[in-house]
């Protein structure tokens, strides 16, 4: 099953806002899981994911800030049983 989360052209500031909010939501999810975890290995794995998300957001911000015109975003959630 697929769910289309984002599809379209956006002005740079709107694209960055949307991407930032989505990444912050995922970071918050991992932070909440860390607070409930007792397993050190799982905590380290989530901390690594958070750092990667922060790095990805930084790189996306740099790229978007250097883009003129509109940006095409396409994001789809796919899950299988």
pLDDT in tens, 31-78: 999 999 888 999 999 999 999 999 999 999 999 999 888 999 999 999
pLDDT band per the 50, 70, 90 thresholds, residue 23: very high
Is-above-0.75 flag for pTM? Answer: yes
> What are 70's strand-pairing partners?
11
Round to whole Å and give the CA distance between 56 and 72: 17
A 10 A CB-CB count for 16 gives: 19
How high is the pLDDT of residue 68? Answer: 85
In this predicted structure, the answer to whether residue 81 has a pLDDT above a threshold of 90 is no
Round to whole Å and give the CA distance between 12 and 19: 11
Round to whole Å and give the CA distance between 57 and 44: 20
């Amino acid at each position: 099953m697929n769910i289309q989360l984002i599809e379209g052209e956006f002005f740079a500031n709107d694209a960055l806002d949307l991407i930032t909010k989505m990444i912050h939501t995922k970071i918050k999810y991992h932070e909440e899981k860390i607070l409930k975890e007792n397993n050190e290995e799982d905590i380290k794995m989530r901390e690594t994911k958070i750092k990667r998300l922060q790095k990805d957001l930084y790189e996306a911000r740099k790229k978007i800030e250097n883009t003129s015109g509109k940006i095409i975003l396409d994001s789809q959630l796919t899950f299988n049983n």
